[in-house]
Structure 1
Amino acid sequence: MAILNPYLSFRDNAREALEFYQRVLGGTLDISTFGSMPGMGYDPSEAEHVMHGQLITDDGMVLMASDTPSSMEYQAPQGVSVSLSGSEADRLRAAWDGLSDGASITVPLAAAPWGGDFGMLTDRYGVAWMVSVDG
């Protein structure tokens, strides 16, 4: 079996973002820091930065993220959206409400011409999301 998961990159605030996503989506968060991985050649001032973080929700969603070390080039995400969709209307609307906190709403969550509800936003961390509730 192959698995495809979003893996988000941040500069210095992956932990904050992952903890926000955990509050919004629920689930279990596991974080490994650069300092917990000997021999990685990281800047000692970045020892507490996220080398790998993984959020797994009770309903099986997986979101991963890390901080980009200062020794590597970082570009804010662009041209990609995380899509959250399905038939669990209450769950998806609650996720929309949580993600909307501090977000820039591109398309309000509302009835879509193809049925159901659809909305787009860029969250407080600059990550674009699409939320689609089946009709």
Structure 2
Amino acid sequence: MSQTLIQPYLFFGGRCEEALEFYKQAIEAEIEMLLRFNESPESPPEGTLQPGFEEKVMHASFRVGKNRIMASDGCEASSGFAGFSLSLALPTKAEVDRAFAGLSEGGQVTMPLGKTFWSSHFGMVTDKFGIGWMVALLEEPPASFD
């Protein structure tokens, strides 16, 4: 298992392309590839694709720093993101501020940026697509949590 990877795969229920553009602006994501359902070498099985989804995103991947996130519209127009958040650690306070502000556009701040015992600059936001983000200044962890 030396080459094992766990990578997030997000389903946007018809809003994937919009989400990709949003993340390009908000957190400087770089789109690596994008394949639409109507560009696939094989058609989806009969009845699995919602009418009107032919030009939606079948598969995309994007990078944020060294990290790859994969995404799709899925096969239906609903999506829900619960039970997880993506953690984004950045090297400067200015980058944290910029990313947090970008992700907050159209979203909901659940914890404003501030000092915590684990980070001098940390905040949480749910973006306009329902993805939870924990944004923090990249720091050395404390020697202990006593």
TM tier relative to shorter chain: 0.7 to 0.9
Which of 32, 43, 56 aligns to 2:35? It is 32
8 A contact 2:14–2:78 mirrored in 1: no
| Structure 2 unmatched ranges of 5 or more | 140-146
Q: 1:56 to 1:40 in 2, by over 3 A?
A: same
* Number of aligned positions between the proteins: 132
SS of 2:52's equivalent? helix
Alpha-carbon separation, structure 2, partners of 1:74 and 1:83: 24
Is contact 1:52–1:66 with CA below 8 Å preserved after alignment?
A: yes
Distance 2:119 2:24 in 1: 29
1:53 aligned partner? 60
Residue 4 (structure 1) aligns with: 6
Q: Distance in 1 between matches of 2:96 and 2:106?
A: 18
Q: What is the TM-score when the length of structure 2 is the normalising length?
A: 0.79
Secondary structure of 1:45's partner? coil
Structure with the greater alpha carbon radius of gyration:
2
How large is the Cα RMSD of the aligned pairs?
2.0
**Correspondences of 1:1-135 after superposition (within 5 Å):** 1-29=3-31, 30-37=33-40, 38-41=42-45, 42-43=49-50, 45-57=52-64, 59-70=65-76, 74-135=78-139
Once the two structures are superposed, residues 22-67 of structure 1 have per-residue CA deviations (whole angstroms, 9 ceiling, x without a partner) of 112224312111111132234562111111111124x323222111
Instruction: Say which structure is richer in strand.
Output: 1
How big is each residue's C-alpha offset from its partner over 1:89-130, in whole Å with a ceiling of 9 and x where there is no partner? Answer: 332221111101111110001111334211111101111111
